[in-house]
């Protein structure tokens, strides 16, 4: 009975090794997808930053235009007051107001010109960033399609391997399978190890002399006293 389970458990272990290999192939795709995602994210963020900067400058432009309109109105009123002044004091006050609003207009118009240039530069930059993002999406499309196709093939292999493993595991008792799975999960490697000259094939710990005769029959599976793996001896035919 145990001998039959031994070969069934060896089949499970072989299936697990195959599953780990397939999972390794699947995991190897992750950095490639992550690189594509990171590159795209940077391009999207660049577009977002430029859009935000343009929005800020456009808001400033609107505020400045409103301020300039008010200043022009004040300048016009001051000029009209200067034109209509009949007394020296009125003319002096109106002239001072004309000069004040004239300087404010000159400064505002200079600021508006610089702001217009910044807005134009940002619009040009935004168009360039959007073009880069569009081209990146096009370039990445083929790569992502290829990676998705590879992932689909690997997933199909993995599903097949897991189904095969489930069939193999059905021939192993629940208690033995549970022990094996706990050890395999801890080691992330083979948990059922063949004896080599009555020493553990994993840690070289020798099994006690009194256990050797029964192990030599190939009819038992027992844990290693050193590392805890399950040990077996393949009896001679």
Pick from 132, 128, 126: which is nearest to 40 by CA? 132
Q: How far apart (Å, rounded) are the C-alpha atoms in residues 75 and 69?
A: 10
Number of Cα atoms under 13 Å in the Cβ half of residue 75: 15
Q: Which domains, ranges and CATH numbers included, belong to the chain? A: 2-170 (1.10.287.1490), 173-237 (no CATH)
Phi, psi of 152 (to 5 degrees): -65, -40
In this prediction, residue 2 carries a pLDDT of 53
Segments of the chain with pLDDT less than 70: 1-2, 236-237
Q: Is 175 left (phi over 0), alpha (psi -120 to 50) or beta?
A: alpha
Residue-level pLDDT at 165 = 96
Check residue 174 and give its pLDDT. Answer: 95
> Tens digit of pLDDT for each residue in 211-221?
999 888 888 89
């Amino acid at each position: 009975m145990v001998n039959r389970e031994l070969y069934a458990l060896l089949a499970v272990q072989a299936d697990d090794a195959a599953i780990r290999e397939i999972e390794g192939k699947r995991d190897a795709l992750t950095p490639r997808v992550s690189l594509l995602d990171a590159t795209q994210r940077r391009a999207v963020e660049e577009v977002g930053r430029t859009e935000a900067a343009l929005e800020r400058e456009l808001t400033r432009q609107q505020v400045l235009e409103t301020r300039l309109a008010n200043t022009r109105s004040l300048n016009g009123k001051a000029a009209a007051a200067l034109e209509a002044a009949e007394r020296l004091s009125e003319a002096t006050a109106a002239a001072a107001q004309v000069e004040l609003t004239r300087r404010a207009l000159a400064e505002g118009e200079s600021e508006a010109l610089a702001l217009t240039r910044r807005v134009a530069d940002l619009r040009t930059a935004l168009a360039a960033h959007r073009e880069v993002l569009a081209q990146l999406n096009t370039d990445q499309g083929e790569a992502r399609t290829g990676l998705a196709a590879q992932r689909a093939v690997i997933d199909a292999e993995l599903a097949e391997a897991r189904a095969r493993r489930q069939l193999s595991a059905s021939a192993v008792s629940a208690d033995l399978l549970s022990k094996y799975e706990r050890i395999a999960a801890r080691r992330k490697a083979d948990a059922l190890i063949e004896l080599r000259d009555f020493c553990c094939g994993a840690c070289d710990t020798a099994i006690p002399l009194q256990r050797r005769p029964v192990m030599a029959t190939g009819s038992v599976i027992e844990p290693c006293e050193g590392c805890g793996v399950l040990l077996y001896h393949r009896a001679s035919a």
